[in-house]
Amino acid sequence: MAEPAAPYFPPPRPPRRSSMALRHLASVAVALVLTPVGILVFDHGAGTYLDEWFRNFETSAVSGEMLLMVLGVLILVAVAACGRLSGLGPVLAGVVWGVVPFVWFLADLRSFTDFAQDLPSTYLWFRSPTYLFPLVAAMLLGAGLAGRWRGRLVA
Per-residue pLDDT of the chain (155 residues; tens, 9 = 90+): 677 777 777 777 776 666 778 888 999 999 999 999 998 888 888 888 878 777 877 666 557 888 998 999 999 999 999 888 888 999 999 999 999 999 999 999 899 888 877 776 656 666 677 788 888 899 999 888 886 665 554 44
Q: Residue 7's pLDDT is what?
A: 77
Q: Residue 133's pLDDT is what?
A: 86
- Residue 120, Ramachandran bin (φ over 0: left; ψ between -120 and 50: alpha; else beta): beta
* Residue extents of the structural domains in the chain: 27-148
Q: What is the pTM of this model?
A: 0.74
